[in-house]
A and B are shown apart, each in its own frame.
Chain A
């Protein structure tokens, strides 16, 4: 011990002092290093992928892993494939789709005419799209666009019902012609320049115009909607954070990635609006070549404009998107939630409420991803301190019931509107082209009743009361009129309204109305009415449950009508049983309000 014994202080404190000096030097060096803190070219570092993010952000990675964003696009392997592919089949307009597995276990779809003939689709599934409402399937098919071309197949798996549906039934369009392959394949759409853009992270369609034909070399940063869809490409951030001292000093965040919670409502909502707000790119050709160019955290308006009812494209005077909005300009389809927010007074031109106020991408249930405490009236209480009797409904109806009514259609469901507004049924007296918040719950009441009730509740500043009602107003409730005489969106929403908890009508009556409305020219409407009828039948404990479970909304017309007649015989009279001419008049109106709403 002679050497050691001569300098006890050096041996005992020297290593610690040396470490301290190194640590302090490292911190000082990093603190002064401009490259460690300043702005960077966020695209230069490329995509890191969620595998890199999990190293430092395990909790956020875990919460994201539980979401439907993660599973938005997946390779068609293992548990990613939700449908059985065990030989199921569906028939629609003269074609039969059969779902099987190939020798290697790969999911396979064959579509062929029912009465014989060559298949019009015969392909292995390579990717899945969606995992919440329904799952779509993508196959590699070279239809003139090269070997990398991929196409969304014309059938999908509806998850809640465990049924296959033709994709034609997922959109609001009239039924195709029997035996017309073109009609059956209406929604056989190319993945490379459609689905890829909003269902993946940092997508690049890679379109190339080759003398007379188009080819694709599509790539994505990561399949599905992963970390960098919201935070931006993180390669530069990962490289920067390789420095331990930089991480220890990271309290102020890193401008190399977007942190939505630090953004103002405009930028924070813009990164959601990229996909939840259909838009028109400033340079469509550039998007199809190299992606949309949008960096989360920057102004979405720099790259595109939201689609509105009066939006035009290509110098045309036509209004191709008008059908997607109600007459007052409110979007009536999903994937327009961003537009609803922009129209809401709470948004305050980007300085007020943003998506993150109500939604939390890293918490709560994956279903709707609502922030804790912000479901129903909890979303409004921070700013709006209302008297307990505001609205006159007590605890039975929350803020959203009146101010964000369920007047949006999407993914075969009725959904809440994201335009926060005040209900004003009186403004629509005499009109039949837009539902109102009141009669979506008071399904047995007319709009005139709703307008008068608003006045009784003390909302005297609303207009319309005293306006002359349409003759049909006296025929039945607003929902009954919409169910038979509304346009396809109104018909779906009327059916949806009849299923909602707390509606003011007996379930057996609602079931009779729905069964009476089961036949419809639009496959998507038939599907919605059938699902509503089945839900109400179960609620009522009806003997019709078995019959409805066996009902196929996409069967051929004679088969459907036979089944509906049998169901009607048990369900009882519909809303216009005593006045069939009124029912006919309303159904005749359906032809005046035809819709073609595709992707």
Chain B
């Protein structure tokens, strides 16, 4: 994934989850059934909105950091995919879990949240640790 595409997709993801905030506010204003009267759904949609938005902005930071730190291309491409996909899974997993929740717990889609979190975490740690001289076998910088 190119740096430009990473930045564009990160900002698009931020726009998506920020727009979701407008939707949630509208539902409060309209006293939408299934939202104001469903605390579990409300909690998980809010979690999705907040995590998705913050992790999208984190991706903007990662995109900037990868350039500043001159991270090798082979690493940088995979870090971009991992952090971007991870942010989508965390935000989307909370939302989907809240929309499909049972009596006491979110729906099964919430299981993708830990997977996404691990990807984001791995991407951030790798951004911090991988140095410009690090190479992958058979690869180039």
Contact status A16-B107, CB under 8 Å? no
Contact status A8-B115, CB under 8 Å? no
List CB contacts (< 8 Å) of A59-94 with chain B. Answer: 59
Interface string of B81-122 (1 = CB under 8 A from A): 110001000000000000010111111101110111011001
Contact status A250-B103, CB under 8 Å? yes
Question: Is A114 part of the contact surface with B, judged by Cβ < 8 Å?
Answer: no
Expressed in whole angstroms, the minimum distance between the Cβ of B19 and any Cβ of chain A is 26
Contact status A250-B105, CB under 8 Å? yes
Asked if A250 meets B104 with Cβ closer than 8 Å, knowing A11-B122, A16-B115, the reply is yes
Give the docked Cα–Cα distance between A8 and B138 (Å).
13
Partner of B104, one of A8, A16, A247: A247
Interface string of B116-138 (1 = CB under 8 A from A): 10110011001001110011110
List CB contacts (< 8 Å) of A342-400 with chain B. Answer: none
Contact status A8-B86, CB under 8 Å? no
Select from chain B the residue with minimum beta-carbon distance to A2. Answer: B134
Chain B residues within 8 Å of A15, by CB: 118, 122
Asked if A27 meets B126 with Cβ closer than 8 Å, knowing A12-B119, A248-B102, the reply is no
Chain A residues within 8 Å of B67, by CB: none
Give the docked Cα–Cα distance between A5 and B79 (Å).
12
Select from chain A the residue with minimum beta-carbon distance to B134. Answer: A5
**Secondary structure of the A side of the interface?**
helix
Contact status B114-A19, CB under 8 Å? yes
Asked if A247 meets B134 with Cβ closer than 8 Å, knowing A1-B129, A13-B119, the reply is no
Give the docked Cα–Cα distance between A56 and B105 (Å).
8
Chain A residues within 8 Å of B136, by CB: 5-8
With most chain B CB atoms within 10 A of its CB, the pick from A5, A15, A251 is A5
Question: Is A23 part of the contact surface with B, judged by Cβ < 8 Å?
Answer: yes
With most chain A CB atoms within 10 A of its CB, the pick from B78, B100, B110, B111 is B111
Contact status A27-B111, CB under 8 Å? yes
Select from chain A the residue with minimum beta-carbon distance to B112. Answer: A20
Question: Is A577 part of the contact surface with B, judged by Cβ < 8 Å?
Answer: no
Question: Is A159 part of the contact surface with B, judged by Cβ < 8 Å?
Answer: no
List CB contacts (< 8 Å) of A1-48 with chain B. Answer: 1-2, 4-9, 11-13, 15-17, 19-20, 23, 27
Give the docked Cα–Cα distance between A17 and B84 (Å).
16
Chain B residues within 8 Å of A253, by CB: 103
Expressed in whole angstroms, the minimum distance between the Cβ of B93 and any Cβ of chain A is 11
Give the docked Cα–Cα distance between A403 and B113 (Å).
55
Give the docked Cα–Cα distance between A24 and B108 (Å).
10
With an 8 Å Cβ cutoff, the count of chain B residues facing the other chain is: 35
Partner of B123, one of A12, A17, A23, A57: A12
Contact status A13-B111, CB under 8 Å? no
Question: Is A561 part of the contact surface with B, judged by Cβ < 8 Å?
Answer: no
Chain A residues within 8 Å of B111, by CB: 20, 23, 27, 248
Contact status A12-B105, CB under 8 Å? no
Contact status B105-A5, CB under 8 Å? no
Asked if A5 meets B75 with Cβ closer than 8 Å, knowing A11-B126, A13-B82, the reply is yes
Give the docked Cα–Cα distance between A245 and B65 (Å).
38
Question: Is B39 part of the contact surface with A, judged by Cβ < 8 Å?
Answer: yes
Give the docked Cα–Cα distance between A313 and B78 (Å).
82
Chain A residues within 8 Å of B75, by CB: 5, 8
Contact status A6-B122, CB under 8 Å? no
Question: Is B74 part of the contact surface with A, judged by Cβ < 8 Å?
Answer: yes
Asked if A19 meets B115 with Cβ closer than 8 Å, knowing A13-B82, A248-B108, the reply is yes
Chain B residues within 8 Å of A251, by CB: 100, 102-103, 107
Chain B residues within 8 Å of A57, by CB: 103-104
Asked if A248 meets B103 with Cβ closer than 8 Å, knowing A5-B134, A13-B82, A16-B116, the reply is no
Chain A residues within 8 Å of B112, by CB: 20
Give the docked Cα–Cα distance between A8 and B123 (Å).
10
Expressed in whole angstroms, the minimum distance between the Cβ of A23 and any Cβ of chain B is 4
Chain A residues within 8 Å of B108, by CB: 27, 248-249
Partner of A16, one of B103, B119, B126, B130: B119
Expressed in whole angstroms, the minimum distance between the Cβ of B56 and any Cβ of chain A is 18
Contact status B78-A20, CB under 8 Å? no
Give the docked Cα–Cα distance between A208 and B136 (Å).
81
Residues of A within 8 A of B (CB): 1-2, 4-9, 11-13, 15-17, 19-20, 23, 27, 56-57, 59, 241, 244, 247-251, 253
Known: A12-B81, A250-B102. 14 other contacts (CB 8 A): A5-B72, A8-B136, A9-B78, A11-B122, A11-B126, A12-B82, A12-B119, A13-B82, A13-B119, A16-B119, A247-B104, A248-B105, A248-B107, A253-B103
Residues of B within 8 A of A (CB): 39, 72, 74-75, 78-79, 81-82, 86, 100, 102-108, 110-112, 114-116, 118-119, 122-123, 126, 129-131, 134-137
Q: 9 closest A-B pairs (Cβ-Cβ)?
A: A5-B134, A16-B115, A56-B104, A250-B102, A12-B82, A247-B105, A15-B118, A23-B111, A16-B118
